[in-house]
């Protein structure tokens, strides 16, 4: 278990993406709306290792799952 609380910034760090708030907002804007079907990990813009991380954390219902669900919701939002 990690000592730090998972946040969106730390999730983006973990995924190897720019993690400052403007970069996170730009990533979400560039990739939404994500189709209502399929899992977040199946989205075409993830690398295989990113998809594996997302899938594994969700399957384990790990601490990251809450933040991953927040990202999922943000990517599926219409506006």
Q: Domain count of the chain?
A: 1
Domain for residue 35, yes or no? no
Written as one string, the DSSP assignment of the chain is: --SSPP-HHHHHHHTTS--SHHHHHHHHHHH-SPPSSS-GGG-TTS-HHHHHHHHHHHHTT-THHHHHHHHHHHHH---
Q: How does pLDDT run across 4-28, given as a tens digit for each residue?
A: 789 999 999 999 999 999 999 999 9
Domain range enclosing 73: 47-79
Candidate from 10-14, 40-44, 74-78 with smallest mean pLDDT: 74-78
Question: Is position 7 within any domain?
Answer: no
Query: Taking the model in full, what pTM does it have?
Result: 0.87
In a domain? residue 1: no
Query: Does a structural domain hold residue 18?
Result: no
């Amino acid at each position: 278990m990690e000592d730090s609380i998972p946040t969106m910034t730390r999730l983006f760090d973990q995924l190897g993406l720019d993690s400052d708030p403007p970069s996170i907002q730009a990533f979400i804007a560039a990739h939404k709306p994500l189709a209502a079907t399929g899992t977040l990990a199946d989205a075409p813009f993830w690398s295989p290792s990113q998809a594996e991380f997302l899938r594994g954390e969700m399957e384990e219902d790990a601490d990251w799952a809450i933040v991953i669900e927040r990202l999922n919701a943000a990517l599926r939002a219409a506006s």
